[in-house]
């Protein structure tokens, strides 16, 4: 965990971004939720509670900058923007299963495009989205049988 933070700090340095208290705190918070998506509004609320005086500006701008340099993944589904620490910093193509209960992200091996070559003659396919939702094995084992997504 510590070395992951160091890796993130290195990335900031490489991109000539200063290491401020606020950025460090944001990274630490993201790190504690490693592997899970967190609602960006919740991140903002948490940071502003934990560090009174911190501004929306700081949270939103930094999360966006973190995404630009590859420390964070943003994801907007069902009208909510979520962020997650991108712990391994590898950008290789993959898709996600997202637990509707705990937000945990499981990376998938398979890409539907493997099965979709040449299905639309004459078209240029430049992008695709694919995501699975449900309840992860941990939550299911803990007895959660239906979506508990917060409103």
Partner DNA sequence: TTCGGTGCAAAGGGTTTGCAACCTG
Partner DNA sequence: CAGGTTGCAAACCCTTTGCACCGAA
Which residues lie near DNA (CB under 7 A)?
13, 16-23, 40-41, 44, 51, 53-58, 60-62, 64, 81
Burial of 111-128, coded b for 16+ CB within 10 Å and e otherwise, reads: eeeeeeeeeeeeeeeeee
* Beta carbon nearer to DNA, 57 or 119: 57
In this structure, what token pair is assigned to residue 25? 């705190």
Cα(52)–Cα(3) distance, integer angstroms:
28
Cα(101)–Cα(137) distance, integer angstroms:
11
Structural contact between residues 63 and 26, judged by C-beta atoms closer than 8 angstroms = yes
Where on the chain is the footprint of its own copies (CB under 8 A)?
76-79, 97, 100, 106, 108-110, 112, 115-116, 119-137, 140-141, 145, 147
In this structure, what token pair is assigned to residue 44? 């903002």
* Beta carbon nearer to DNA, 53 or 143: 53
2 binds, among its own copies, DNA, none (CB under 5 to 8 A by kind): none
* Beta carbon nearer to DNA, 46 or 144: 46
Rounded least distance, CB 79 to its own copies, Å: 6
């Amino acid at each position: 965990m510590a070395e992951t933070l160091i890796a993130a700090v290195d990335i900031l340095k490489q991109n000539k971004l200063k290491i401020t208290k606020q950025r460090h705190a944001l990274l630490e918070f993201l790190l504690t939720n490693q592997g899970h998506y967190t609602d960006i509004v919740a991140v903002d609320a948490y940071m502003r509670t934990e560090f009174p005086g911190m501004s929306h500006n700081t949270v939103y701008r930094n999360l966006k900058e973190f995404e630009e340099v590859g420390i964070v993944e943003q994801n907007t589904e069902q009208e909510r923007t979520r962020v997650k620490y991108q712990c391994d910093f590898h950008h290789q193509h993959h898709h996600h299963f997202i637990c509707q209960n705990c937000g945990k992200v499981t990376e998938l091996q398979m890409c539907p495009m493997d099965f979709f070559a040449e299905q639309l003659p004459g078209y240029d396919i430049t992008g695709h989205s694919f995501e699975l939702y449900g309840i992860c094995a941990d939550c299911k084992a803990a007895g959660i049988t239906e979506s508990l997504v917060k409103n």
